Chains A and B, each alone.
Chain A
Amino acid sequence: QQPVQSPQAVILREGEDAVINCSSSKALYSVHWYRQKHGEAPVFLMILLKGGEQKGHEKISASFNEKKQQSSLYLTASQLSYSGTYFCGTEKEETSGSRLTFGEGTQLTVNP
């Protein structure tokens, strides 16, 4: 089942902060965050694993609430380059099935 992302879209001014949420109804093993700019491939930002391990870029922070099966991506002091569509991809605990199930995406626009 597809994770639900919120908000669907957000517009910021440079320097402002934003939070993007990703919720699943299934027990998750991991949550992966990607950013995709128009016409380009998704770029890996961060992976959060059950148990608290995180791997990703230093300037990006995120959390994973295992009880709620919810992850949040925190974008602070936004820059123009942060504009794009953010996807969360979730991986279930079961070993079979889809590799990553992606949310519909959150479109982030950062204006000067």
Chain B
Amino acid sequence: KAGVTQTPRYLIKTRGQQVTLSCSPISGHRSVSWYQQTPGQGLQFLFEYFSETQRNKGNFPGRFSGRQFSNSRSEMNVSTLELGDSALYLCASSLAVTDTQYFGPGTRLTVL
């Protein structure tokens, strides 16, 4: 079974721009969660989607948004990028909301 895939793997943007990251979950998985990983803050939860509905949201500003499509693929968007948004963005999928999460390889975002 193919794992979680994320595109793109690397991204360089400048301050003020916006970015869209994509995540394709493991086939059959309906829950997708997004996390931000930085050396200073560690792994922090952004949001979780299940059956196209946002189920949970972490403590991030409204510039961070996401959505899930009917095929369970998910996108997250960050608008008005700031230097502090530079991070590894990880997507994780699971069969159900409380099931084991499997992580994708991540998208490394650098904001200049």
User: A and B: real partners?
Assistant: yes
Q: Which of A40, A44, A99 contacts B105 (CB 8 A)?
A: A40
Does A43 sit within 8 A of B, measured CB to CB?
Answer: yes
Q: Which residue of B lies closest to A45 (CB)?
A: B100
Q: Which residue of A lies closest to B45 (CB)?
A: A98
Q: Which residue of B lies closest to A46 (CB)?
A: B100
Are A55 and B103 in contact, CB atoms less than 8 angstroms apart?
no
CB-contacts of B37-90 with A (<8 A): 42-45, 48, 55-56, 58, 90
Q: Which of B33, B55, B97, B103 contacts A43 (CB 8 A)?
A: B103
Does B110 sit within 8 A of A, measured CB to CB?
Answer: no
Contacts of B106 in A (CB 8 A): 41
Provide the main secondary structure of the chain B interface.
Answer: strand
A-B pairs with beta carbons under 8 A, tally: 51
Q: Which of A29, A41, A100 contacts B33 (CB 8 A)?
A: A100
Are B102 and A100 in contact, CB atoms less than 8 angstroms apart?
no
Are B98 and A41 in contact, CB atoms less than 8 angstroms apart?
no
Are A32 and B103 in contact, CB atoms less than 8 angstroms apart?
no
Contacts of B35 in A (CB 8 A): 100, 102
Are B100 and A102 in contact, CB atoms less than 8 angstroms apart?
no
CB-contacts of A46-75 with B (<8 A): 47, 55
* A58–B58 alpha-carbon span in the complex (Å): 33
What 5 A-B pairs are tightest by C-beta distance, nearest first?
A: A102-B43, A41-B103, A98-B45, A99-B48, A99-B33
Given contacts A42-B43, A100-B101, A102-B43, list 16 more A-B pairs with CB under 8 A: A2-B42, A32-B101, A41-B106, A42-B90, A44-B100, A44-B101, A44-B102, A55-B100, A89-B43, A89-B101, A98-B45, A99-B56, A100-B33, A100-B45, A101-B45, A102-B44
Between-chain CB contacts (< 8 Å), 8 pairs: A2-B42, A40-B105, A41-B103, A55-B100, A97-B56, A98-B45, A98-B56, A99-B101
